[in-house]
Structure 1
Amino acid sequence: MRTFRAAVTGAVTLSLAFAVTACGGGTADGSGGSDSRPRTLTYWATNQGPSLEADKRTLLPELAKFEKSTGIKVELEVIPWSDLLNRILTATTSGQGPDVLNIGNTWSASLQSTGALLPWDAKNFGAIGGKDRFVESALGSTGAPGQDPAAVPLYSMAYALYYNKKMFADAGIAKPPTTWDEVDAAGRRLREDGKWGIGVEGSNLANNIHQVFVLGKQHGADFFTPDGKPDFTSDGAVAAVKQYVDLMGASKIVAPGDAEYAQNQSLSDFAKNRTGMVLWQTPSQTFAAQGMKPEEWGVVPAPVPSGTPGSGTRTNSMVAGINISVFKNTRNLDGALRFVKFMTGDEEQILLNKTYGSVPPVKTAQADAAFGTASLAVIRDTLATSAAALPQVPEESQFETVVGTAVKKLFADAAAGRPVTTESVRAELDKAQQQMPKK
């Protein structure tokens, strides 16, 4: 899921009954009228570009292409990330939702547990060309282990460290950092130059989770036990959260105002030479929307203690991305499967991922030269060697909410000059754990 993107606006309970009323376009025969041929699908797309209107400009010509080849009209709605999860949850209970929808890949197991999404068994995967077309790391974020996936990978992303070349040169920083110690040192050099070291979005709950999950992996923590119980107060989890908040509190290389930043707000400071570094996923559109030219920023893998991410070393990103799903009670299943096949075909995968600055999760599309640029190569290699999926448990979306909120509270403390200690971090994480559903 993008950082971008997504803060769950309240704790949600996903043990919801799935209503049997029909959703999506078409009548019981899939036609939307007396003609037996399927004619209409409704599609909820995620906000991948710099605005909802930009997404419509990207997607509408592709949907017209699909209609021309199949005769199936697709009614599009692009939904902002701040509304998406609640919209989906409402649809799972009312049955009044789309035929096809995009979801943040971290929500796959949570939404799977509602029973509302079509399981992607061998037959359904066969209808779109087979499961083996997709990269293994992307398939790892499509639902709970041991169950048929609830979604199909659509866009793949990973975090990397982006740095402002002018600011680095002005501060005399010779090379971009690859370890957390080097991030701290570069940040302090930038502070001496009157700038801020690295940007965060302390009020962006999902981004908080993405960063502390990765740091947790680096500290040997998973936030859930092997049997799926919350484990937010382990020494590793506490150390991860404290390390992240200490970028503002102890190291003072993050501006106190970042505690209030929500989705995408850190990018303006980066583009306007106020902050030297950001951890981000898809720079090509988001940086350009801030007026940055590609030659003005550089990229290296996100930092790890060793400086050498890769297989057998340390995680440096969560497996970010967008999945595409089908509501199980669609009245146009054939049309929905044809649309998913279209969206995951090589032509669309190359075009859309190139536009959005992401990497195709389809192996043959990923091999296209468009994804060999320096920035996308870092993302592609990270996904292949050093990224981990967030816990695929039914309570994952509540985890994003309660722990993301705890991190937000700790950033507020740091911004106000209040001490952030191991004890205060553990106390906030304990409060978060108490809000999780009891098993």
Structure 2
Amino acid sequence: MRSIRAAAVGAVTLSLALAATACGGGSATGGGSNDSPRTLTYWASNQGASIAVDKKVLRPELDKFEKRTGIKVKLEVVPWSDLLNRILTATTSGQGPDVLNIGNTWSASLQATGALLPWDAKNFAKIGGKDRFVGSALGSTGAAGKDPAAVPLYSMAYALYYNKKIFADAGIEQPPATWDELIADGKKIQATGKQALGAEGSNVSENIHHVFVFAKQHGADFFTPDGKADFTGDKVVAAVKQYVDLMAKDKVIPPGNAEYAQNQSVSDFAKGRTAMLLWQSAAANLASQGMDAADYGIAPVPVRSGTPGTGTQVNSMVAGINLAVFKNTDNLDGATRFVNFMTGDEEQRILNKAYSSIPPVRSAQADAAFSTPATTVLKDTLATSAVALPQVADESQFETAVGTAVKELFADAAAGRPVTTASVKAKLTKAQQQMPAK
């Protein structure tokens, strides 16, 4: 296990774009040790279109919890660009919140610091048991064989969003099921004067999410079974090149998108400038930007064969947010009660509706709001064709190193520099060299 300090030094700020989807009142450092037993400090991730939206969503629910329990919750909504570094600083200083949201891809990395409360059978029993949660969500809560470091709160999956009018104007009757079809459709769309596919080439985490899926579709992994970085195999290189080639070779992603960092591709889609968008649970964000749900369709992310499923037909990473507790809280009972509240059926329905995400709690999914055509696509993806990012201690460094390599490759493509198998491998070799030695 890495030391806490090694984890903090090894990870740099990640700009997770979940704020587009759905990713304050508390102090900068929180501090369960400084709060009274009747007070909890909660760091929430920015799930809505803005921090103000999140406060509007969360504050009534936190007030409800206080009314029921007498425990006041100090809320701070932390931007995704700051959240990981804030958490890592808290693990080293011991001055953190009592309860916090984490990106589920960070679970194993933060678990390795030893700062988070393990969710063993005894702790799960306090919130109704482990079997309340969907298996795919539990798969992103920490390293295999260890007690989870967090509890699933919001589940999300990637999908292909497409503008119905732009498709009709281009004579396209249905969304593409394969990447070849997407490229062909993209060229028809560009002939009408619209852009085909939006992307965020400077968004490190978006890059990781996409190239991970491409790698799975090529039957590749970024880590060996014993957790060693393996970024330079032929299949991994081919997968990364295929994604970047959507701009470099196939020309369906605009060159300007190489500079997009967070939420700009969603804005382009909402404003009708781009016909297609690969995003996770985007409905709430699109609505906040004035796009009517009737104006777009949602379909599974394309795969090589056209039929999503298990194995190489993976078309999404298991996206989502987990809820964790710092072990050093002086109000463990209150923190556990808060987790129980937030993962209860009532709150799961309220919060996941607000953020257009899917409840990771099985019983809450029965609500009709999670059975619309759009949410059905997301639920089916999570159930049958999504895979968790590597649950290894060095996952946050992986996101940074490989995501930055893809960012640099997009910059090359936008500048007209060749993106070749050799250049992709060189970037991935450099990324692998940045990983902690084993």
TM-score computed with the length of structure 1 as normaliser: 0.93
Residue 208 (structure 1) aligns with: 207
- Count of residues in Structure 1 that have an aligned counterpart in Structure 2: 417
Residue 253 (structure 1) aligns with: 252
- Where 2:349 maps in the other structure, the secondary structure is helix
Aligned pair partner of 2:32 in 25, 34, 45: 25
Shift of 1:313: 5.5
Cα offsets for 1:49-93 (capped at 9, x unmatched): 000000000000000000000000000000000000000000000
Shift of 1:310: 1.9
Distance 1:47 1:243, change over 3 A: same
Kept in 2: contact 1:3–1:281 (CA 8 A): no
Taking the aligned partners of 1:85 and 1:3, their CA distance within structure 2 comes to 9
Residue 360 (structure 1) aligns with: 359
Residue 241 (structure 1) aligns with: 240
5+ residue gaps, structure 2, are: 1-13, 21-28
Q: Which moved more, 1:74-83 or 1:283-292?
A: 283-292
Residue 16 (structure 1) aligns with: none
Amino acid corresponding to residue 345 of structure 2 in structure 1: D
Distance 1:87 1:332, change over 3 A: same
Shift of 1:271: 1.8
Q: Does 1:5 align with 2:18?
A: yes
Cα offsets for 1:267-313 (capped at 9, x unmatched): 12212222110101122211112211000110100110111112456
Cα offsets for 1:92-138 (capped at 9, x unmatched): 00011100000000000000000000000000000111000000000
Greater helix proportion: 2
- Where 2:247 maps in the other structure, the secondary structure is coil
Kept in 1: contact 2:156–2:319 (CA 8 A): yes
Distance 1:302 1:47, change over 3 A: same
- Where 2:226 maps in the other structure, the secondary structure is coil
Kept in 1: contact 2:16–2:204 (CA 8 A): no
- Listed as ranges, the matches of 1:1-400 within 5 Å are 4-5=17-18, 24-25=31-32, 32=36, 38-311=37-310, 314-400=313-399
Residue 7 (structure 2) aligns with: none
Residue 11 (structure 1) aligns with: none
Shift of 1:3: 5.5
TM-score computed with the length of structure 2 as normaliser: 0.93
Residue 26 (structure 2) aligns with: none
5+ residue gaps, structure 1, are: 8-21, 33-37
Amino acid corresponding to residue 92 of structure 1 in structure 2: T
Taking the aligned partners of 2:15 and 2:213, their CA distance within structure 1 comes to 15
Q: Which moved more, 1:341-350 or 1:189-198?
A: 189-198
Taking the aligned partners of 2:271 and 2:321, their CA distance within structure 1 comes to 29
Shift of 1:25: 3.5
Cα offsets for 1:235-283 (capped at 9, x unmatched): 1110111011100010011111000001111012212222110101122
- Where 1:183 maps in the other structure, the secondary structure is helix
Cα offsets for 1:23-47 (capped at 9, x unmatched): 73366xxx72xxxxx3100000000
Taking the aligned partners of 2:167 and 2:99, their CA distance within structure 1 comes to 45
Shift of 1:4: 2.1
Amino acid corresponding to residue 437 of structure 1 in structure 2: P
Distance 1:53 1:302, change over 3 A: same
